């Protein structure tokens, strides 16, 4: 699919970068695509004391809380998903996979 991936890293010989649905074993640092109820929030990227977020409409949220805690959501826009991408409403991560026989690089 891609030889350099979304981080600009060259895939080693016999491998390529492929977008796959993001799967989490733990709720900590899990991302969710926003539902219609959550739309309208602004991206917090760049938020620091005295600074503001980027101001774009958020499309996904990240759970900053650990186990056994209420979720603490941080909202981010499409430009600030930290190497993730939403494809057909599902969060995807670019992963390195071996190229199978007969598959295009």
Q: Which residue ranges make up the site for Zn ion (CB under 5 A)?
A: 43, 45, 54, 56, 77, 80
| Shortest Å, Cβ 66 to Zn ion | 24
Measured at the alpha carbon of residue 48, what is the angle toward residues 22 and 79, in degrees to the nearest 5?
35
| Residue number, 31 or 45, with CB nearest to Zn ion | 45
Tally of CB atoms within 10 A around 39: 11
| Residue number, 15 or 41, with CB nearest to Zn ion | 41
| Residue number, 4 or 47, with CB nearest to Zn ion | 47
Q: Where are the beta strands (DSSP E) in 4-105?
A: 15-21, 31-33, 60-63, 73-76, 84-87, 90-98
| Residue number, 11 or 62, with CB nearest to Zn ion | 62
| Shortest Å, Cβ 61 to Zn ion | 12
| Shortest Å, Cβ 84 to Zn ion | 13
| Shortest Å, Cβ 76 to Zn ion | 6
Token duo for residue 20: 């796959």
Spatial contact of 3 and 17, defined as CB atoms under 8 Å apart? yes
């Amino acid at each position: 699919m891609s030889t350099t991936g979304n981080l600009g890293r060259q895939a080693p010989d016999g491998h390529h970068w492929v977008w796959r649905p993001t799967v989490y074993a733990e709720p900590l640092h899990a991302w969710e695509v926003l539902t219609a109820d959550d739309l309208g929030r602004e991206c917090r990227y760049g938020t620091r004391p005295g600074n503001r977020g980027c101001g774009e409409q958020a499309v996904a949220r990240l759970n900053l809380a650990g186990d056994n805690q209420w979720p603490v959501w941080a909202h981010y826009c499409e430009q600030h998903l930290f190497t993730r991408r939403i494809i057909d409403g599902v969060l995807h991560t670019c992963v390195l996979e071996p190229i199978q026989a007969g598959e295009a690089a």
